[in-house]
Amino acid sequence: MITLSVNGAPAELPDGTTVADLVAQRAAGHDRVAVARNGDVVPRSSWPATPLTSGDTVEVLAPTAGG
């Protein structure tokens, strides 16, 4: 298991979890999300090949409408 922060909350995920896995788990139904890992944006094309590790800080952000 790895321990990391997701959207400011502690989380434990299985070893080998990728950004794509996390998005599928946490943002199901949202096709338009952005992900930052340790302060750096992770391009969508890199999600399947970007493993998460213990100590990472991840933000999964969905756009919101407003004015």
Nearest to 5 by CA among 37, 32, 27: 37
Q: Side by side, which strands form the sheet with 9-13?
A: 9-13, 2-6, 57-61, 34-37, 40-41
**Domains of the chain by start residue, with CATH:** 2-61 (3.10.20.30)
The pLDDT assigned to 31 comes to 76
The pLDDT tens digits for 17-55 are: 999 999 999 887 677 899 999 999 999 999 999 999 999
The pLDDT assigned to 63 comes to 76
3-class secondary-structure state, position 59? strand
Model-wide pTM > 0.85: yes
